[in-house]
Chain A
Amino acid sequence: MMKWILFLPELYCLLMAAVFFGLAMIGRPNPRRDYFAALFLTGVSIVVCLACVRLEGTLFFEAYRVDLFSQVFKVMLGMGLFLVVCLCTELNGIEERHHPEFYLFLTTCTLAMMMLVSSVELLTIYVALELSSYSLYILVPLRRGHGIDVEAGVKYLMVGASASAVMLFGLSYIFGVTHTTYIVELIRVLPGVITTPAAIVGLVLTLSGFFFKLAVFPFHFWAPDVYQGAANQVTAYIATASKVAAVAIIMRMVALSGGGSTYLVHVLVTLSIASMTLGNLVAIVQKDMKRLLAYSSISHAGYVLIGILSMSQTGYASAIFYALAYLVMNLCCFLVVVKVAYDGSDLKIAQLAGLHRRSPMLAMALMLAVFGLAGIPPTIGFTGKFLVFAAAMEKGYVTLVIIAMINATISLYYYILVVKAAYLLEPDEEMDRLAVSMPTKLLAGALVTVMVVFGIFPHHLLEVARAAARILM
């Protein structure tokens, strides 16, 4: 029996990493070569992930499980990686001789996240999480210098290292209470002892390591600085693929509690409300597009938590759907950011002025993506929010849903400001038309189509999400 085929997506990522490692060592810097190699390899990785989506089985002495849940997330991660690489045509934010390393660390990070969503043993989860974090810690200060990059890197690292130390302490309590580190056994044992303080504190502390990745409230303050300080493409990756993996692993850990702990629900509700409110309120005053997206990501982490804390199959399914929706919408936003700030600089919202004349296609993509983030129908963002709120209503969390809706309304304000800048404001001085290449137009068109079509007809995706969520129960 060919067991290694279960491990194919990861092996393929490893191969990609090896190729970039080789490219990093040979000859003079050649950005075109690196870009096309990356584009081709990551394109194939989506195919590999899709081909493996139906596989099931366990590997490495039950420490690694391949099932629909993990494979769906691997497809999303592969897609995220490919789309981020698509944005790298003008990788001006990073020195040319470091391009192979840039792709190398993107690949190792994706590999680590694929391992993260498949691991069912706590030590494996921890090491995979660290591998993905370290790759990102290095990517952030790689930006071609204008001062704030290294400091953003240091802030990211310090918050991340503290969060992972806290998480490890939580893991030790879980180990002490349950005597096991395998998720399969934890699901059996932990719901029985979830009322003891040690178990619940252990679980909450453990979750904090993942909350850091998702930028949930007490671990959120790295996000704005890192989003602004990192190169645009790196930010795009942190904002999309890394969030998707975090959602997956948070679901797996929350599912461990078996839904029997009101205390855990209270903690998650508090964090969710705090993240939404704080993210939305601070986003209003932002002038920098990437900082705005950072605060918006904090508030979106709150919305995803609503789906997760419902702890029902519909809740988890809605969270998976929301993660996918968020991936597509955010990538579309970053496509515009990267193309408008093509020299690799930061993008002020004011710089969007007159975008509808400089490039109608990008302006349209930005408008739809921003409407999606705001949750306006008929975009996929509306469907995602609707599903998440419906799952919470099913459980009777009416107050929480009302607060979330108020928040969504507040968020409309700053999203509209972005659209207004792109469509209604005129630039102070006349700007040239943006040269948007054909592949970029196709990519923008594809993302827009996905956002609208799956916003109106979400059934197929939702079926897959439900089937994946069933595995967690």
Chain B
Amino acid sequence: MNSLNIYLFIAALLFSLGIFGVFQRRSLIGMLIAIELMLNAASVNFMAFNRFLAPDPIVGQIYTLFIMGIAAAEAAIALSIIVAVFRRLRSINIERAQELRG
């Protein structure tokens, strides 16, 4: 519990699960959830480096704080666009949003 590698391992796992969720492209909200997992992986990394390595333990915390702020803004835009898509297509699966694939 007091080793950097455990935290980095957790972050790597969260990040990979996020990548998996994005690539599986099941639904738009599912992708958004996966992206949140990836952002959290980055947060855990920052906090871990902050705790074990960094010269100044404030910097990592500030990064984590800003990641949360950005994630909130991102969720607001993403959800509003997703709801708009849904109203057009009556479905939120990304497969249906492929009208212009090519």
A and B touch in the complex (CB under 8 A): yes
With a cutoff of 8 Å between Cβ atoms, the chain A residues found around residue B60 in the complex are 175
Q: Which of A20-28, A224-232, A248-256, A297-305 contacts B (4 or more CB under 8 A)?
A: A224-232
Asked if residues B35 and A161 are in contact (CB atoms below 8 Å), the reply is yes
A171 in the interface (beta carbon within 8 A): yes
With a cutoff of 8 Å between Cβ atoms, the chain A residues found around residue B28 in the complex are 154, 158
Alpha-carbon separation in the docked complex, A147 to B82 (Å): 14
Minimum C-beta distance from B48 to chain A (A): 8
Minimum C-beta distance from B83 to chain A (A): 10
Other-chain residue from B46, B55, B99 in contact with A148 (beta carbon distance below 8 A) = B99
Q: How many A-B residue pairs have CB under 8 A?
A: 110
Asked if residues B85 and A151 are in contact (CB atoms below 8 Å), the reply is yes
Other-chain residue from A147, A152, A173 in contact with B45 (beta carbon distance below 8 A) = A173
Q: Which of B55, B59, B60, B77 has the most CB of A within 10 A?
A: B77
Q: Which of B42, B45, B54 has the most CB of A within 10 A?
A: B42
Interface string of A157-186 (1 = CB under 8 A from B): 110011001101101110110010100000
Alpha-carbon separation in the docked complex, A419 to B39 (Å): 46
A150 in the interface (beta carbon within 8 A): yes
Other-chain residue from B32, B73, B84 in contact with A150 (beta carbon distance below 8 A) = B84
> Interface residues of B, CB < 8 Å — how many?
43
Q: Is the interface of B mostly helix, strand, loop or mixed?
A: helix
With a cutoff of 8 Å between Cβ atoms, the chain A residues found around residue B88 in the complex are 147, 150-151
A155 in the interface (beta carbon within 8 A): yes
Asked if residues A162 and B84 are in contact (CB atoms below 8 Å), the reply is no
Alpha-carbon separation in the docked complex, A23 to B56 (Å): 45
What is A's interface to B at a CB cutoff of 8 Å? 123, 126-127, 130, 134, 137-138, 141, 147-148, 150-155, 157-158, 161-162, 165-166, 168-169, 171-173, 175-176, 179, 181, 224-225, 228-229, 291
Residue pairs across A and B with Cβ atoms less than 8 A apart, 16 shown, are A123-B62, A123-B63, A127-B66, A130-B73, A130-B74, A148-B99, A152-B100, A154-B97, A157-B81, A158-B32, A165-B39, A168-B39, A169-B11, A172-B49, A175-B60, A176-B53
